Structure 1
Amino acid sequence: MLNVTENGEQLNYTTLEELNNLKVHQRMPTIVFLFILIPFGVIGNIVTILVYGLKYRPSTFRVYLLTLAIVDLLSCCIGIPVELADNLLPLVFYDEKLCKIGKFSGQILKIGSALIIFLMAVCRYQKIRWPLSTNISTKLTRNLCIFTMFVAVLFSWPFLILKGTQYKHSDGGVIGYKCSTDSDVKHTIYPFVYTIVTFGVYMFVFFSLLILYTLIILNIRRHNKAEVTEHKINPRITKIMIAITVAFVVSYLPDCILDANSTFNKGDTIPNTPLVVGSLSLLARLYFVNNVVNPIIYYIGDKTFRKIIKQTCLRVSIVHRSGGVSSSNLSAMSDTYRTEDYGHTDSKHTKAVSNAQPTSPENSDTQL
């Protein structure tokens, strides 16, 4: 018999599974939330990769968006399912290897996303502040994104040690198995130190983004319309990047605040009621919104992206109604998703491809 006190009321459970089911019931809002995010995130990010990867000319802006879309897609395929399993098996998560690898992979993607958004802001500020300077090449941008993910791995590897099976002892001698901070290191200083480090990383990114985009907006306002056109600076790209940044900050802040509270405030500072338990679990995973919302931002802010999606849906609908793919429809769809390597084409071929493809969202601002 398990005795559990909840809201001052003594509750009795005969098995660990019953207690686990109670925890699952408390976390049902989080479970439903994560279930909804997965299909929207997977579909949205696949569409983003297809459209920007196959339809747009090479540019630094395109490299950043594709990198973000890949990271977001992996989060929807790895990070969210692991957290979903954690909420469905709060006391019966027996697979310690899956726990370690899943949490480690999710942490890489979480930190990597933050660092790439920071990198985007730095490069955008460089473009706005010194428009006549040498632009960053797409090759260098790809290398910077790869390096950023390598840095994310360096910040995340402690999860392989810190995360694992945490044993939850209940009255009656029954032991629960939770995927959380490993019981072997839970009472050491290492989890505290790691939380301080990651909290510092996120605070650095948050305040850097605030400063950079404040400077970007001030510089844009300082330039008149003629100067913006002359330097080929597209304000629409800046608006999209600001929207991406706002979504990132809003979705990441609750988890950072909860981490700070659990780190710096010892003891139970938050009441352990079913409503609070369910709400905290949801707020702690709210950062996954960042992995789903970007395709919506592109659809609203990039009229070319929106046009391509609408045209593709229309063609698919026509093909479906006609019961087959005609040669003209096949040719049109092929043109829509044709990939060209602008770095290895002669000037005549490049000009022909440029005329065949729709205008990039950057217009002339091809180097971010």
Structure 2
Amino acid sequence: MRHEQVTVRRGTRSGLPIAVAVHSRALGPAVGGVRMRRYADWRDGVEDALRLSEAMTYKTAAAGLPFGGAKSVIALGPDTEPTPRLRQAALEDLGDLIEELGGGYTAGPDVGTGPADMAVLRTRTTHVVCLPEEQGGTGSSSGPTAAGVVAALRAAARAVLGTESLTGRTVLISGYGSVGALVARALTDARVLVSDIDPAKQEEAGQDGHGWIRPEDVLKTRCDIFVPAAVGGILTPDTVPGLACRLIVGPANNQLTDDSVADLLAARGITYVPDFVASAGGVIYITSRDLLGLSHEDAYARVTALGATVGSLLAEPRPPLRAALSLAEVRLTGAERTNEHLMAI
């Protein structure tokens, strides 16, 4: 087992399975989002928490943040409707669990939750970020997450395509949600195609001036840059041969089914910017503001510095995933050695 602590319990108020996975606190207290979604089996939710918390450790380490990685999952059943009453009960159950960890884990929003849900958590624990702006919080992390993706994308375009300018280039964004839509709107110099499993998003995309691609056609549509911005696990040994892009940069978590898929992409001449690097803008901004006390300007400067990080990774002879993992592991190993030394004193 690679995790420091994993807690799974049935919520006393909601009756729902709730999992909190703390992967590592070598660099500092763990941070990570709260995911609320439907699963065929509650154990799939636990597996999600395990994978995502590990990814969060590498995300914070690669970004140079003094925090570890964790994740919470509230597992809804396949037919469970998260009514306002059930939602509040589940969040209160989770808040109690987070409080029991005594500051070892601070939660923020993730898929299925937002600032309003963090306000509910705040009634049970102080270890919460991204409270609504009207309550003095930083609000949604979608804006800085998208800004980080754009900075990473343009840096990667410069390294792979020769220029940050996307004039004459096609960018395909899979997932037109809170982050994907902001990324699309920021790429004003590109031809932007978008896709989403929600067909109602097609009208919104058209009003924004973007082309629409059916979800079943996304992985075979020709483009220069592919931006996964929905769920993870879409890049597999079966889907890689059909890809028709030169560069992949996106905010979706766990895009690869396993790390070996990065080698398959490289063999096809497709440059893959690791998701835990491209998606780090949100956690960089929120922790910088809410936990480190930085100003908006200083926090956003850290977000846009992701472009320099990506440029450095792509300048290495190693595949970007290996370079990013190595960068994170060097920082984690150094912190673990320091912690062991302090414990021995």
For normalisation by structure 1, the TM-score amounts to 0.28
Q: Which has the higher helix share?
A: 1
Higher RCO (CA-CA < 8 Å; seq separation 6+)? 1
| Higher-Rg member (1/2) | 1
Q: Which has the higher strand share?
A: 2
For normalisation by structure 2, the TM-score amounts to 0.30
